Amino acid sequence: MSHPFTYKSKFETLHHEAEQLMNKRLKLQQSVDEAKRKGEEIYESVDKWLIKAGKAIDEADEFIQGEEQAKKRCFVGLCPDLKTRYLLSKKAEKKALAIDKLVNEGDHDPISFRPRILQIVASSVYHREALNSRVLFLKQVMDALRDPNLNKIGVHGMGGVGKTTLAKEVHRQAIEEKLFDEVVMVAVNQTPELRRIQSEVADVLGLTFDVEGIPGRANRLYERLKKEKKVLIILDDIWKQLDLKAVGIPIGDDCKGCKILLTSRDKHVLSQMGTQVVFHLDVLQDEEACSLFEMTLQMLKIQNCLP
């Protein structure tokens, strides 16, 4: 019975709750904007709360603006419209409770997270008809990677023959076809830097090292990789034997879901590292080389790199 006579206090409560929600939403939105500027990802629950809060604020404002309806008086202004006041008072109370619940739900900490670093996927050059031999070679390598009995595959060939291009194509295709849960490609180079290799693999996996020493980092990386069901690690341009365990890469029975593709100029290096199958990448055939050269010139002209 009190609702028709307390509608003013109900509206005041609603107005107060809406202001609280508005202030909380504003502060959270500022924090979200700051996190986005830092390149962080916002949790879905935070975005949903901001949407719900914005909608609740708009509805409350619209409802409060309609307070004039409560001032209607029936019988030519001789008495208050108790029914209208009663209904508006009940609605105001209900909305205030809903907003209060939203205010209490708005304690989001943390609101964001650092996204995992995604490696750049090179555009394909193997779709060109002039490179039929490379397409067939790529198919052999991909078939070997799909073979459940193989976990360490090698590709060797002289410098400049296209091993890195092949590795990038395997990297791209493995990601596009979703053959593995994680695909990582790292250039080893002539002088291997274990710390850099560890960091590049860890970045893709979203792993943060809590130790500084290389052996300790290797243990962290080792345990992280063992948790993956299917992971492909491509180590490109290996000049001398690389101790995978020193890096933190599990091999063999330690992690059956971990496959490794190694590329090197030296077949002996791949044998030392225990590759189960080795492919020899030869130079392009004359016709393919000429066609590739012509297409490269045309591309450079299109990009205004040549007159």
User: Does one domain contain both 278 and 168?
Assistant: yes
The predicted pLDDT at position 41 comes to 86
User: pLDDT over 90 for what percent of the chain?
Assistant: 45
pLDDT at position 78 is 47
Are residues 157 and 261 part of one domain? yes
Q: Is 305 helix (H, G, I), strand (E, B) or coil?
A: coil
Domain total of the chain: 2
DSSP 13-63: HHHHHHHHHHHHHHHHHHHHHHHHHTTPEEPHHHHHHHHHHHHHHHHHHHH
Average pLDDT over residues 42-52: 92
Task: Judge if 165 and 288 occupy the same domain.
Answer: yes
Please tell me whether residues 169 and 235 are part of one structural domain. yes
For all residues of the chain together, what is the average pLDDT? Answer: 82
Are the C-beta atoms of residues 267 and 146 closer than 8 Å to each other? no
Give domain status of residue 218, yes or no.
yes
CATH assignment at residue 236: 3.40.50.300
* pLDDT score at 115: 72
Q: Give the contacts of 37 (CB within 8 A, at least 6 positions apart).
A: none
How much of the chain, in percent, has pLDDT values that exceed 70? 77
Strands (E), the chain: 41-42, 73, 79-80, 112-113, 152-156, 182-189, 231-238, 258-264, 277-280
Whether the pLDDT of residue 306 is over 60: the answer is no
112 contacts: CB under 8 Å, gap ≥ 6? 32, 35, 36, 40, 41, 42, 43, 46
Query: Within this chain, do residues 106 and 242 fall inside the same structural domain, yes or no?
Result: no
- Residue 122 belongs to some domain of the structure: no
**pLDDT-derived band at 74, boundaries 50, 70, 90:** very low
In tens, the pLDDT along 262-302 reads 999 999 999 999 999 999 998 766 666 666 666 666 655 65
Is residue 128 over pLDDT 80? no
- Position 160 scores a pLDDT of 82
> Which pLDDT tens digit goes with each residue over 53-62?
999 999 888 8
Whether 105 maps to a domain, the answer reads yes
pLDDT in tens, 106-118: 678 888 887 776 6
Do residue 134 and residue 40 come from a single domain?
A: no
Would 149 be classed as within a structural domain?
yes
Distance CA 288, CA 244 (A): 36
- Please, are residues 277 and 283 in contact by the beta-carbon 8 Å criterion? no
Beta bridge partner(s), residue 198: none
- Residue ending a domain, choose from 53, 86, 113: 113
In the prediction, which pLDDT does 186 show? 95
Query: 149-166 pLDDT, tens per residue?
Result: 999 999 999 988 889 989
- Tell me, yes or no, whether 56 and 138 share the same domain: no
Both 297 and 178 in one domain: the answer is yes
Domain of 146 in residue numbering reads as 129-302
Say whether both 286 and 162 belong to one domain.
yes
Segment of 37-41, 107-111, 240-244 carrying the highest mean pLDDT: 240-244
Q: How many CB atoms lie within 10 A of CB 282?
A: 11
Rounded to whole angstroms, how far apart are CA atoms 165 and 185?
12
Model-wide pTM > 0.85: no
